[in-house]
Amino acid sequence: MHTPAHAAALLPPIDIRKRSLNIEMVFHEGGPRVSRPLLVASACAVIRSPYAGRYESDLLAFMEAVKPLGASLAEELVRSLGRDQVEAYGKAAIVGVNGEMEHGAVWHEAGGWAMREALGEPKAIVPSVKAVAGAGYRLMVPLHHVHAAYVRSHFSSAEIGIQDAPRPDEILFALVMANGGRVHSRVGGLAAEHIAGHDGQR
């Protein structure tokens, strides 16, 4: 019986067709200009799906195979924003129409744990979204605070997508990090400076 890591070695190498890095800078949302712009960075990779067009009962090998990709995207975001500056994160997958939703679910561990490792093991779960769709589909990725999911100022989202991806036999994987919450947050709730617990919630 093969272990996931051994089975991953039996898969063809992950074939990356393209990658993208986007950084959005927000100075205000109609109110006063902020002293430090909000930076929201998204890193995407478009790969050929090894299981497009057929059912595969065991996806653990695929999950192992894309872990280095998750680490690479996470490290790219950390280099772009600065490890100590990251306050919010999220992840996403868009599966081409010859695939299935579960092919995107491998990103829960491969992408999520990659970000947690790159950031020094933050406490909060990484929010996520996934879809099966055609090329050019845009997806809103949920974001929240890296240490406490209930920090209301950091409930936000970021748009990801690439004009010619995913093609039917491809998957687009994405990671998102931000250096803050909404620039004009003013609806109360738990504030980042009041995080007290260690369970990733409050």
- What CATH code is carried by the domain that includes residue 105? 3.30.1330.110
Q: Encode pLDDT of 49-95 as tens digits.
A: 999 999 999 999 999 999 999 999 999 999 999 999 999 999 999 99
Q: Encode pLDDT of 179-194 as tens digits.
A: 999 999 999 999 999 9
- The closest of 123, 121, 183, 179 to 150, measured between CA atoms, is 123
Position 3 scores a pLDDT of 59
Token duo for residue 134: 């055609």
Kindly state whether residue 187 falls inside one of the protein's structural domains.
Answer: no
Kindly state whether residue 120 falls inside one of the protein's structural domains.
Answer: yes
Position 13 scores a pLDDT of 85
Q: How many percent of the chain have pLDDT more than 70? A: 95
Are 173 and 70 in contact by the 8 Å Cβ rule? The answer is yes
- Average pLDDT over every residue of 130-150: 97
Distance, CA of 130 to CA of 133 (rounded, Å): 10
Position 1 scores a pLDDT of 47
Token duo for residue 36: 């430090």
Kindly state whether residue 111 falls inside one of the protein's structural domains.
Answer: yes
Kindly state whether residue 33 falls inside one of the protein's structural domains.
Answer: yes
Q: Over the chain, what is the mean pLDDT? A: 94
The whole domain housing 51 covers 4-181
> Taking the model in full, what pTM does it have?
0.93
Kindly state whether residue 119 falls inside one of the protein's structural domains.
Answer: yes
Which alpha helices (H) appear in the chain, and where do they start and end? 4-10, 60-65, 67-81, 101-105, 107-118
Kindly state whether residue 201 falls inside one of the protein's structural domains.
Answer: no
Place of tokens 């990356």: 16
Q: Encode pLDDT of 155-169 as tens digits.
A: 999 999 999 999 999
Kindly state whether residue 171 falls inside one of the protein's structural domains.
Answer: yes
Kindly state whether residue 194 falls inside one of the protein's structural domains.
Answer: no
Structural domains counted in the chain: 1
